[in-house]
Structure 1
Amino acid sequence: MSLKELTEKQNGLVAQAREALDEIKSNTDEARSAELESRHDAIMAEFDAVGKKIERERKQAEIEARAAELEAEDRAKKRPGASDKDETRGADEGDKPEYRKTFYKYLASGANLDELSGEERSVLRAGVAKDGEQRAQTTSATAGGYTVPIELANQIIKSMAAWGPMYDENICTTITTSSGNAITIPTVNDVATAVVKHTEGTALTDDGGSDATFGQKQLDAYVFDTEWIKFSFELAQDSIFNMEALLGELLGERLGRRANVELTTGDGTGDPNGIVTASSLGKTAAAVAAITFDEIIDLYHSVDPAYRMSPKARFMFNDSTLAAVRKLKDGDGNYIWSMGDVRRGEEGTILGKPYSINQAMASLATGNKTMLFGDFGKYFVRKVGSPVIGVKRESYWPDLGIAGYIRLDGELGDTAAVKHLVQA
């Protein structure tokens, strides 16, 4: 099915799901109500499955476009009159295929530098990444750590963002540094400080009562790794482009899950201060395992309007909470959840604000912080360079092992900017 057909199917599923809920009236018996709710949940599960198909179609289209691009580049280099300079220009730029090809030759050789020419070793050791950044490397024949080629790095980062919204620079504020030294973020909350009316001819008050109070928070660089992923020598040797996509998904998924958990619920002691941990109380739900539309409104209005108007203001909760929210109606019987439009790049909304599904957040149960709302731009994610990978041969021979690691930290600059709803 085309993207258009899949989108139309999603629209139809939403209509069917709402029809099921609309059949539930005040006089509908419990058994029938449960049956209709179950039908709604099943339809919305299919809606989500179609959404995943749409995402896969998009990803496949991107991969095919990139493959066509690389093929066109290779054809251009093989044309008569192509200069030697054209053939070797990738030695000092990060997004050229020369480094990428050398990197995969390195993988296929089982991380054996002796299998590479002097020029290839030189290209590999350059560790080219974004903005020309170079990273420390180990260069033994059995376990070498190299900054990944830019295409693979982008695939890993994209997969990480897909598996965890807290790593997405479109949601949070990202600071990328080339080293892991601790950095500080200045903080100030001046919202409550008033400006006074001036009386002509009188001196300005200078009692310190309106001074700005600055603070600071520190961002460190905690290290997280994937552990080893085992794969065959033949795969590395024969499947260059597919290998890139495969490794990007595998490494990105593993790194993304852990990074997202840390940036969501980390306690700030030896790991990032997760946004749920750092957020302040906005609303306490009356029920143990349910939420109401009024409570979502109260959470929304517990955040200062200045933060609510931020382009990065949004809700965040896990998928089971979304299922509950999809069934809520306002006083006029309208559903508060609105479906987005993937063709226009529009997200689904609640109270006119976008939301993110974060599976690291808790489900509806006693004492759990189940929903966040606020300006996620005030949450700072510190990334140290690009992902780094290492390759292992001997202990897996004739197969290979690959592992990746990242360095990051996270901190909420202003606790008033993001608030949570907690269950009773």
Structure 2
Amino acid sequence: MSKIKELREKQARLVAEARSRLDEITDQTTEERAKELEAQHDAAMQEHDRLEQLIEREERLAKVEERHREHRQRERPVSGGSGGGVDEPGAEVSYRHAFARMICGAEVQHMSDEERAVLRAHTASFETRQQLASVAAAGGYTVPTELLNEIIKTLKAWGPMYDDGLCTVMQTSSGNPQTLPTVDDTDKSADEHAEGSALADDNSGDVVFGQRALSAYSFDTPFIKWSWELDQDSIFSMEALLGELLGERLGRLANRRLTTGTGTNAPQGIVTGSSLGVTGATVSGISFDNVMELEHSVNRAYRRSPKCTYMFNDKTFLAVRKLKDGEGNYLWQKGDVTRGAPDLFNNYRYAINDDMDDLGPNRIPMIFGDFAKYYVRKVGQPIIGVLRERFWPAVGIAGLIRFDGRVADPSAIKHFRNAAS
């Protein structure tokens, strides 16, 4: 009954989610947002109904199994007589036992009816281009054949650009274009005032405003499909597992586009939008002098920002960790977790982003500056959609994301470029 209890708990969460979506709709809610909330409500209730069908099947199956257990108990012989006995400990056939018998050489016709029935119950159909319970590499390792309820997931870090703590993040509910006003008044200053003279009125003191537009570009993942057998048999929630994997795919895509995106009908990556700070003397190296030159190519007004940061990939990080100043001290300083002090590079914080270039001819392996001047615009949240009717009897899942990014002030973020040759 624990599975039925788990399904009931999921239903309760879905009902609460559906109610919260409807409660969000008010007179001030835009039509687009209202439709989005209504769709989320409908999806939650549709999943609730699907779980209800599962619960009904589980309850029917439990009743049938109970009748069979009672029948076996009445018919199984007891010592000194027949019928009305009880199963000996371990007498009920498990899939593990039947599978081991078959693998060890027992011919199917020589196996008991119960053993053959257990094997048939765990046989899954082959389906093309889908995640299958019957094929190990395509999903069968999650089928409960006496396995631990763990799955080993291969990991790969993708970078920090979609995180809220590094750049300036703008979260919007709709994808309407937005404009960032800009102004560069650094070449202006006040002047001496002679007693009794009139103030200049020749437009020489006018402020020139500019603007940079933030759009909302859409990206998606292909559908992942898995069989209904795997959906029923898996000890994992396939939707939760695959949803997490798709979320990571969207995160990797967002980080790549926000790092090196072209900015032409696409997000502008922070590297693309940065300006040249220093060009190195070698095609594949970086020196302490280069680091100092890059740092001082950024005005000290930006260097005082709490979001002033170095960024490079892990290979470049290994190279710069070996750099020393003129007194033989490493530029990289280990932080102190007891005091909440982070690791630093040349007294500034740094970010590892493996979508940046390696050291190499004419490449940009390092940037530095005030990352608060890089704006990331997120539209809603990444959406993971599950479709059951379209691929029936299989299940499909895919992800969508909308975002944009742009450097608001190129003078605030500078890059180091290796020599071309």
Same fold (TM over 0.5): yes
Determine the structure 1 residue equivalent to 2:329. 334
Structure 1 counterpart SS, 2:301:
helix
- Aligned AA (1:197): E
Residue 352 (str. 1) matches residue 347 (str. 2): yes
Determine the structure 2 residue equivalent to 1:93. 20
- Aligned AA (1:332): E
Contact 2:17/2:44, CA 8 A, preserved across alignment: no
Specify which of 274, 292, 299 is matched with residue 294 of structure 2: 299
Task: Find the aligned partners of 2:329 and 2:45 in 1 and give their Cα distance.
Answer: 55
Determine the structure 2 residue equivalent to 1:82. none
Determine the structure 2 residue equivalent to 1:106. 47
Task: Find the aligned partners of 2:342 and 2:42 in 1 and give their Cα distance.
Answer: 38
- Aligned AA (1:290): G
Specify which of 349, 373, 382 is matched with residue 368 of structure 2: 373
Deviation sequence 1:375-421 (CA, Å, 0-9, x none): 11111111111112322346755442210111111111111010000
Q: How many residues align?
A: 297
Structure 2 counterpart SS, 1:277:
helix
Task: Find the aligned partners of 1:173 and 1:241 in 2 and give their Cα distance.
Answer: 37
Residue 211 (str. 1) matches residue 206 (str. 2): yes
Specify which of 186, 190, 202 is matched with residue 185 of structure 2: 190
Structure 1 counterpart SS, 2:410:
coil
Determine the structure 2 residue equivalent to 1:151. none
Determine the structure 1 residue equivalent to 2:409. 414
User: How much is the aligned-residue C-alpha RMSD, in angstroms?
Assistant: 3.8
Mark the CA change 1:396 to 1:107 in structure 2 (over 3 Å): closer, same or farther. Answer: farther
Mark the CA change 1:104 to 1:286 in structure 2 (over 3 Å): closer, same or farther. Answer: farther
User: Alpha-carbon deviation of 1:169?
Assistant: 1.3
User: Alpha-carbon deviation of 1:107?
Assistant: 9.2
Is the deviation greater in 403-412 or in 249-258?
249-258
Contact 2:167/2:373, CA 8 A, preserved across alignment: yes
Structure 2 counterpart SS, 1:298:
helix
Contact 1:104/1:236, CA 8 A, preserved across alignment: no
Task: Find the aligned partners of 2:45 and 2:292 in 1 and give their Cα distance.
Answer: 53
Contact 2:14/2:45, CA 8 A, preserved across alignment: no
- Aligned AA (2:20): E
Structure 1 counterpart SS, 2:179:
strand
User: Alpha-carbon deviation of 1:90?
Assistant: 4.4
Structure 1 counterpart SS, 2:206:
coil
Determine the structure 1 residue equivalent to 2:316. 321
- Aligned AA (2:268): N
User: Alpha-carbon deviation of 1:166?
Assistant: 1.1
User: Alpha-carbon deviation of 1:207?
Assistant: 2.4
Contact 1:288/1:367, CA 8 A, preserved across alignment: yes
Q: For 1:102-181, what aligned pairs fall within 5 Å after superposition?
A: 103=44, 106=47, 109=50, 163-181=158-176
Specify which of 273, 276, 283 is matched with residue 268 of structure 2: 273
Contact 1:161/1:167, CA 8 A, preserved across alignment: no
Structure 2 counterpart SS, 1:93:
helix
Normalised to the residue count of structure 1, the TM-score between the two structures is 0.62
Mark the CA change 1:88 to 1:255 in structure 2 (over 3 Å): closer, same or farther. Answer: closer
User: Alpha-carbon deviation of 1:88?
Assistant: 6.0
Mark the CA change 1:207 to 1:386 in structure 2 (over 3 Å): closer, same or farther. Answer: same
Residue 259 (str. 1) matches residue 254 (str. 2): yes
Mark the CA change 1:195 to 1:344 in structure 2 (over 3 Å): closer, same or farther. Answer: same
Gaps of 5+ in 2: 1-5, 24-39, 56-154
Determine the structure 1 residue equivalent to 2:305. 310
- Aligned AA (2:180): I
Is the deviation greater in 344-353 or in 272-281?
344-353
Residue 282 (str. 1) matches residue 209 (str. 2): no
Task: Find the aligned partners of 1:161 and 1:346 in 2 and give their Cα distance.
Answer: 26
Greater relative contact order structure (CA < 8 Å, 6+ sep): 1
Gaps of 5+ in 1: 1-70, 79-85, 117-159
Deviation sequence 1:14-73 (CA, Å, 0-9, x none): xxxxxxxxxxxxxxxxxxxxxxxxxxxxxxxxxxxxxxxxxxxxxxxxxxxxxxxxx9xx
Q: Identity of counterpart residues, as a percentage?
A: 53
Contact 1:161/1:168, CA 8 A, preserved across alignment: no
Task: Find the aligned partners of 1:264 and 1:358 in 2 and give their Cα distance.
Answer: 8
Larger gyration radius, structure 1 or structure 2:
2
User: Alpha-carbon deviation of 1:180?
Assistant: 1.1
